[in-house]
Amino acid sequence: MKSFKYVVKENVGIHARPASMLVKEAASYTSAVTIESGGKKADVKRLLALMALGVKCSQEVTFFIEGEDENIAAIELERFCSRNL
C-alpha cells in the first residue's frame, strides 16, 4: 500500500469540478484509491462519496492506494493533485 498527504489549495476545495476530475484520474488505475479527511474516508472513484467529505481549501487529506499499479498510481495521483487541487 502506498500513501501520501496533500494540502488542498483549490479555493473551492474538492467540490464538483475538481472532484469529477479526480474521480476520472483515479478510475484510470486498477488499484483501490481511498481518501481520508477529518477522520472520514471515501472511495475516490465514487463522486458523491468524495464530495460528501466536504474537503475545503487548506485542509490536509491523505490518499491510500492499494493494488497492482499502486506505485505508478500514487506518483500520478500526487502529480494530479499538485496541478489541479
Number of other CB atoms surrounding residue 63 within 10 Å: 21
Out of 10, 15, 57, 80, pick the active-site residue.
Answer: 15
- CA gap 63, 36 in Å, rounded: 6
**Cell numbers found for residue 76:** 500520478
Q: Catalytic annotation on 26?
A: no
3-state class of 30 per DSSP?
Answer: coil
Angle at 28 between CA 67 and CA 60, to 5 degrees: 75
Q: Annotated active-site positions, please? A: 15
